[in-house]
Amino acid sequence: MTNDEASKTSSSAQKELIKLAEDSRCLLHYVARHGNLTISPEIAKGITTVSTKIENDNWSVGDEIYLIQCYDRLARQIYPVTIESIKAVVPIITNGKQSKPTASKTITLYRYYTVFTLLFLLMVQMFYLFGYTLLEDLKPFPQPIVSPLPDDIEANYQLLKQWNFLWMFGQTIQLDVPLDKQHFGIEFSANLIAAQSFIQMLQSYLLPLIYGLLGALIFVLRTLLQQVRSLTYTASREIGYRLRLTLGCLAGMITGWFLKPEMGEMALSPMALAFLAGYSIEVLFSLLDKLIDSLRRQTNSTPPTIPPSH
């Protein structure tokens, strides 16, 4: 090894040791600020003494080993709080300026996600209820349907056509029949069928998905609040939060598959269960695992069929 390489290695080791001393003091200050924690005087004295020697560039290998031992004992004492979680939650002051910690940025981001999801849910819910109300007013209309319609029915029908026009992105229902009084009933029924099909899709797929996503977002915000208070949040946890949102959407859709109430019947239970499934996906997947295990046991316990002998 050349002199330059040895110098670089020594400089790198010096930086690592300085960082370890800074982290040790950070943990020590955390313990000092929390009255429910106590620390051994030996650990506090060891960290302070060795840190001072490092600052004065007057340390030895024995000091480095002793600092590592003190750091290990202190880290075990305050776990699950770690140096990473403290830095992620507590604001850092650099050159007199206070920077925003990672936890604050994450909370702000997921708060925006939650507000946007809630507003989108309200828009879809209102659009759904408006179309459902129009459809329910037109469904009892007696057959055969001929033009002209009564004024109140005609108003509902025109509004339903505009409602279909919106979710069809500016398209209208085109039928290969002449638009005369004789065939008016076909156009009337086609618009009702289209509206009914779209309402069923909203109720079975889109709304449960959004409710599941909202439940997952609220769980993430609640978990973030608890972790910030206990100083256990770390940046690596955000990967789990993103996966949680995806699983929340899937959990909401799964409840939509299993629970299909009558069209338009917005009972509390199906959508509430979609929300709860997104909030607590562990319960849903635990039930699915039990169901699969039960089916597997039944399959294994079924005796094989023996063909009759000839």
User: What is the spatial distance between Cα 273 and Cα 287, in angstroms, rounded to a whole number?
Assistant: 14
pLDDT per position as a tens digit, 43-58? 888 888 888 888 888 8
pLDDT one-digit tens code per residue, 16-46: 888 888 888 888 888 887 766 777 888 888 8
pTM: 0.80
Please, are residues 190 and 179 in contact by the beta-carbon 8 Å criterion?
no
3-state secondary structure of 94: strand
Residue whose pair of structure tokens reads 């408006």 in the numeric block:
130
Contact status, residue 3 vs residue 50, Cβ threshold 8 Å: no
Within 8 A by CB and 6+ apart from 228, the residues are 89, 103, 107
What percentage of residues in the chain have a pLDDT greater than 70? 85
- Per-residue pLDDT tens digits for 128-140: 999 999 999 888 8
Question: pLDDT tens-digit profile of 248-306?
Answer: 999 888 887 776 544 444 444 678 888 988 998 888 788 888 888 888 888 777 665 55
Note the pLDDT of residue 35: 62
**Going by C-beta distance under 8 Å and a sequence separation of 6 or more, which residues neighbour residue 77?**
31, 37, 39
